[in-house]
Amino acid sequence: MLKGRILVVDHDGTHVLKFLGDVRLTLCPALDQYLDNIFNSRHFKTILIDLTDTQGIDSTSLGMLAKMSIRMKKQMGFVPTLVSVNDNITRVLLSMGFDKVFVLVKQLDEDLEPMQELAEGDFSDLSVQQKVLEAHRTLMGMNQKNHQEFKNLVDFLESQCVI
């Protein structure tokens, strides 16, 4: 699998995040920082998550997406759109309840190039650990199945984090 990358672009307040390759937790602190910046922008309208070129995505990254969607629903009154063409990824999204926090679609209406790569940044181990914990707490809160799935991991991470 290709190393994970996230490309971003702002089209008049519509922020497109394109996940490429195998997206893992190392990108989560930079993703969270980027999302904070756009949510605080007065030009922010919506977010589109494009997973059409995603080969794999870990639970931490999924948790960050769920957190973002929940925040957008609270702040804007509606949920963002997520595009997935990979049947395996779509199956995971549905099994975790993402159809409750996103509008899931199978294709993009248009290509929104060019995009800039979101840099991983230089974040401390503690910062990454906190993002992993936060992402999994979010997933746990989505439904009972996720709660059971991630409870032991969250308990372990909580015991390891020095916050």
Domains of the chain and any CATH numbers: 5-121 (3.30.750.24)
pLDDT over 80 (residue 124): no
Number of CB atoms found within 10 A of residue 11's CB: 11
Give per-residue pLDDT as tens, 63-104.
Answer: 999 999 999 999 999 999 999 999 999 999 999 999 999 999
Q: What is the pLDDT of residue 125?
A: 79
**Strand order in 103-105's β-sheet?**
103-105, 81-83, 46-57, 14-23, 5-11, 116-117
pLDDT at 18 > cutoff 60: yes
Q: What's the Rg (C-alpha) of the chain?
A: 15
Please report how many Cα atoms fall inside a 13 Å half-sphere around the Cα of residue 147, on the Cβ side. Answer: 4
pLDDT score, position 160: 81
pLDDT of 159 reads: 87
**C-alpha–C-alpha distance, residues 107 and 50, integer Å:** 9
Listed in sequence order, the residues at least 6 apart from 82 whose beta carbon sits closer than 8 Å to its beta carbon are 48, 49, 51, 65, 93, 98, 102, 103, 104, 105
Count of other CB atoms within 10 angstroms of residue 22: 16
> What average pLDDT does the segment 1-6 reach?
86
Q: Which residues contact 80 (CB under 8 A, 6 or more apart)?
A: 46, 47, 48, 49, 68, 69, 72, 102, 103
Sign of CA dihedral 71, 37, 17, 31: negative
